[in-house]
Structure 1
Amino acid sequence: MDNNPHLITFIKMKIQKYFRSTILLAGCMILAAMTFAQDKVTLKIGDAAPELKYAKWIKGTPVKAYKKDYLYVFEFWATWCGPCKAAMPHLSELAKKYKDKATFTGINIWEKTGDKPYESSLPSVIKFVNSVGDKMAYNVAADNNEQHMAKKWMIAAGQNGIPATFLLKDGKIIWIGHPMALDSIMEAVLDGKYDMEAYKQKFEGMTVKNEALMAKFKALEPIQKAFQAKEYDKATAMIDTADATDPYVSLQLKVLRFQILIGQKKESEALDFAVNWVKENKGVGGSIAGVILGADSLSPKVYLYAAELGKDVLNEEGVVTPLVHHFIAKAYGKAGDLKTAIIEEEKALQGAKDALKEGKFIGSILDYTVTEFETSLTAYKKEIQK
């Protein structure tokens, strides 16, 4: 499978859209978090904040100690997480608004490093932060090889999705939630109107529900391991008997089933499965296209189907259109239709240039995105001349 970070972003974007259409989910749920899953939450509202440990403090001044009667905001994010990037301008505004009353720090976690140490992601994270510039107008640090921040903060607090924001006062965690809700919470805290005990009870209720959900995901690990080992028949048998009553679990089972069919090169069966799935829920088209584009040596028919799914995605609200055109181009390229691939890549390139000028798609379209699209366009043009 292709580990292209834009492809991962594209898939996550579509899965997130599907989640919103079934159950409210404030953030990107990622199965990587289950690697660190624990039985019970150990970090709660009102507890002292864990130690800060990181691989590199990328931007701003490191937090060495917590000042009394002063707020500290720690925002957990990743470069592939669309909602994280969407929240960055708002967090930057808050950092400026409360510059004398609070310190904001973005903590990078859960980058996709495969079998490599986590710190191998540092160059790409630093490149991202530098490219975003003042749209990320606050401190930034990256997790270390032990993934201390992910384990001792996020997972310990039962947080398995990003973006996630921790608000501290006097060294204690007084609130955990979505960054878009932070402004009103900070106002309440600064005005002396914030009821931490009431929120603690609410948070504990959410924790119970989240633990139940993660337990369901935990049950999928044997299937994932079998799939990764290419034990496709074994994985399929387990999918057939798995409990798919939960919509999150059902979605992941369907993604795995489709990945298995593609891995087995059972193209006709895979396309039939995909067509029926899209009929049930059009929002999964991007996820299906992402799986197809991540596979090599498929027939032109399959890649052309991915291109058509990509075109459908273009009509949806909130889509990063240059990225979608880029992947439609990739689908046509893999199908051997280089002429159409060039047309789509030119759309992607122009869209990316326009987005940079207009300040659109912050974090998703960067200066090096334009370079990447230019490289792809040049490659298609060279290939068609052979």
Structure 2
Amino acid sequence: MTSLTESASQVGEENVLTVGSPAPSIKVEDWLRGQPVTKFGPGKVYIIDFWATWCPPCIASMPGLVTLQRKYRSNGVEVVGIAAEEQASSADEARASLDDWLTKNLPNLNFPIAFDYAGEMNKLWMDPSVSFGIPSSFVVDREGRLAFIGHPTELENVLPKILNSSWAVSDEAKALDAERINRARREKRERELMEPIFARLRAALNTEDWAAALSVVEEALAAMPDHVGLHELHAELLLHKIRDMRAGLVVLRQLVRDAIEQKCVHRMRVAIRQLFDPAKDYSGFPHAERFAMGKDLSEHILAANPPQGSENAKFLSYGAVAQYYCETGKRDRAIELVEVALKWLDAAPMPDLTKRKLVQLLTQGFGELQE
């Protein structure tokens, strides 16, 4: 097994924060909810969660953090939310927007929220731990050392072991942290490799040079064959921009097969939106095959029991699934599915603008259900 020190050095960073490192300090501008946490009290365990209101996975993880706080408060656990990635033209605007969002979406929040627009917390925590995205959670143990760095969905398994002092010395903890750092190394290399490619792709898409965009996408897929977004764009370009049905259907058939074989709701959503989107022209599609693939995908989407964090892909697929049912003469079933998705969306905590866009996406083609 690669040691943590070796893994950290491979990332090319000095003084990388790992399990066992002393926890950095907390340096924020404001506390918008709860009592400020200015230092780590002895004998307590802290979950420091980095999140943002524009980040769907962050929002999806919030109910779990609320549950952990309620469940383990008597064990000395304190959750602290760090909003360090809010997007606005000024700190005052970001602070006001965040405060409004918390009031509307999390009125019964049971842990403090800190606001950091200047980026000090990222410099102290995220950057030294080679944590490149949010949500990211850090657990500080009773001795003031980092016991865990990773995704908040992993906390339910990890936190009890931290509380009984079995985690930090375990092989599982060492392996998880080593994999985290090695993953950061891979992602860093991928970004360095792909950024010039994505710059060319953005330029081609902005000028609607579909042939150039297709060439770049195929180059990118050779380097990143598992990138779902690239597979989506590949099918979109061939089928709906260039209108090369022969090549496009080959790509789409493979996308459908992979989605079903892997039981991947994200890929299923991508595939069915290529087949049943009321904004697209399907005049050149083979009718029987389109509906056969739609039937297969719809049945698998409706039967899927996705892991936590993938529910959005399942329910946001319902707009395309509903379009399939509508075109097969089952409009009542279509409306029923859209209403299920809208009910899920109504309860999902997310920014209002994002929610409005998703409502429009789900109800497209169903005028009676639009706002």
TM-score, scaled relative to structure 1: 0.62
Matched, 1:278 2:288: no
Deviation at 1:167, TM superposition (A): 0.5
Instruction: Give the Cα–Cα distance (whole angstroms) in 2 for the partners of residues 152 and 353 of structure 1.
Output: 40
Instruction: Give the Cα–Cα distance (whole angstroms) in 2 for the partners of residues 373 and 209 of structure 1.
Output: 35
Q: Is the 8 A contact 2:46 2:139 kept in 1?
A: yes
Q: What are the residue-to-residue correspondences of 1:192-231 with 2, within 5 Å? A: 192-196=165-169, 199-200=173-174, 203-229=177-203, 230=205
The verdict on how the C-alpha distance between 1:108 and 1:241 changes in structure 2, with shifts beyond 3 A counting, is same
The verdict on how the C-alpha distance between 1:167 and 1:378 changes in structure 2, with shifts beyond 3 A counting, is closer
Q: What are the residue-to-residue correspondences of 1:312-331 with 2, within 5 Å? A: 312-318=300-306, 319=311, 322-326=315-319, 328=321
Deviation at 1:200, TM superposition (A): 4.9
Q: What are the residue-to-residue correspondences of 1:28-107 with 2, within 5 Å? A: 39-40=12-13, 42-52=16-26, 57-77=31-51, 84=58, 87-100=61-74, 101-107=76-82
Q: Which residue of 1 aligns with 2:5?
A: none
Matched, 1:298 2:280: yes
Counterpart of 2:338 in 1: which secondary structure? Answer: helix
Instruction: Give the Cα–Cα distance (whole angstroms) in 2 for the partners of residues 365 and 207 of structure 1.
Output: 31
Counterpart of 2:35 in 1: which secondary structure? Answer: coil
Instruction: Give the Cα–Cα distance (whole angstroms) in 2 for the partners of residues 327 and 125 of structure 1.
Output: 35
The verdict on how the C-alpha distance between 1:236 and 1:380 changes in structure 2, with shifts beyond 3 A counting, is closer
Q: Which residue of 1 aligns with 2:113?
A: 140
Instruction: Give the Cα–Cα distance (whole angstroms) in 2 for the partners of residues 247 and 375 of structure 1.
Output: 28
The verdict on how the C-alpha distance between 1:271 and 1:177 changes in structure 2, with shifts beyond 3 A counting, is same
Q: Is the 8 A contact 1:76 1:165 kept in 2?
A: yes
The verdict on how the C-alpha distance between 1:383 and 1:353 changes in structure 2, with shifts beyond 3 A counting, is closer
% same residue:
20
Structure with larger Rg:
2
Deviation at 1:211, TM superposition (A): 0.8
Deviates further, 304-313 or 174-183: 304-313
Q: Which residue of 2 aligns with 1:157?
A: 129
Question: Which letter maps to 1:176?
Answer: I
Deviation at 1:157, TM superposition (A): 1.5
Name which of 259, 270, 282 aligns with 1:287.
270
Question: Which letter maps to 1:72?
Answer: Y
Deviation at 1:58, TM superposition (A): 4.3
The verdict on how the C-alpha distance between 1:286 and 1:380 changes in structure 2, with shifts beyond 3 A counting, is closer
Question: Which letter maps to 1:344?
Answer: A
Instruction: Give the Cα–Cα distance (whole angstroms) in 2 for the partners of residues 234 and 354 of structure 1.
Output: 39
Question: Which letter maps to 1:102?
Answer: V
Q: Is the 8 A contact 1:326 1:373 kept in 2?
A: no
Name which of 213, 227, 235 aligns with 1:258.
235
Instruction: Give the Cα–Cα distance (whole angstroms) in 1 for the partners of residues 369 and 139 of structure 2.
Output: 53
Deviation at 1:95, TM superposition (A): 0.7
Instruction: Give the Cα–Cα distance (whole angstroms) in 2 for the partners of residues 69 and 287 of structure 1.
Output: 48
The verdict on how the C-alpha distance between 1:45 and 1:209 changes in structure 2, with shifts beyond 3 A counting, is same
- Residues 8-38 of structure 1: CA deviation (Å, up to 9, x unaligned): xxxxxxxxxxxxxxxxxxxxxxxxxxxxxx8
Counterpart of 1:45 in 2: which secondary structure? Answer: coil
Deviation at 1:255, TM superposition (A): 3.7
Q: Which residue of 1 aligns with 2:8?
A: none
Question: Which letter maps to 2:128?
Answer: A
Equivalent pairs counted in the alignment come to 332
Q: What are the residue-to-residue correspondences of 1:177-192 with 2, within 5 Å? A: 177-183=150-156, 185-192=158-165
Deviation at 1:121, TM superposition (A): 9.8
Instruction: Give the Cα–Cα distance (whole angstroms) in 2 for the partners of residues 203 and 87 of structure 1.
Output: 21
The verdict on how the C-alpha distance between 1:116 and 1:255 changes in structure 2, with shifts beyond 3 A counting, is farther
Question: Which letter maps to 1:218?
Answer: E
Counterpart of 2:42 in 1: which secondary structure? Answer: coil
Deviation at 1:84, TM superposition (A): 4.7
Deviation at 1:262, TM superposition (A): 6.2
Instruction: Give the Cα–Cα distance (whole angstroms) in 2 for the partners of residues 328 and 271 of structure 1.
Output: 19
The verdict on how the C-alpha distance between 1:258 and 1:50 changes in structure 2, with shifts beyond 3 A counting, is farther
Q: Is the 8 A contact 2:26 2:39 kept in 1?
A: no
